[in-house]
Amino acid sequence: GENVEQHPSTLSVQEGDSAVIKCTYSDSASNYFPWYKQELGKGPQLIIDIRSNVGEKKDQRIAVTLNKTAKHFSLHITETQPEDSAVYFCAASRDSWGKFQFGAGTQVVVTP
């Protein structure tokens, strides 16, 4: 089955700097890669996703890149702000499969 590894487990950045989180997956049939942000006491919320027919996707300060050959995808947050502090999860799935495999999560702390 699918296995998703996520690094780093914790990331501390200065406000205004960039943050990068990387995930690797094992199942070459996976074709959908969402990223979720979880704030304290809440459920995860989708922040961006990418499908396997696209190499990069941007939404304001957030971007995701996908390398299908190497089977890894990354989340990039630019100009970080204190409200970006949260736990971020990557995930992998494929159409009609019903299963989502999540990474172990990255605790991001943005210090002023």
- Is 40 a binder of other proteins (CB under 8 A)? no
The two beta strands, 4-7 and 32-38, are unpaired
- Is 25 a binder of other proteins (CB under 8 A)? no
- Is 88 a binder of other proteins (CB under 8 A)? no
Residue owning tokens 């922040």: 47
CA distance 95 to 65: 20
Among 75, 103, 108, 110, binds other proteins (CB under 8 A): 103
User: Euclidean distance between the first and final Cα of the chain, in Å?
Assistant: 41
- Is 27 a binder of other proteins (CB under 8 A)? no
Residues binding other proteins (CB under 8 A): 1, 6, 9, 31-32, 34, 36, 41-46, 49, 51, 89, 91, 93-105
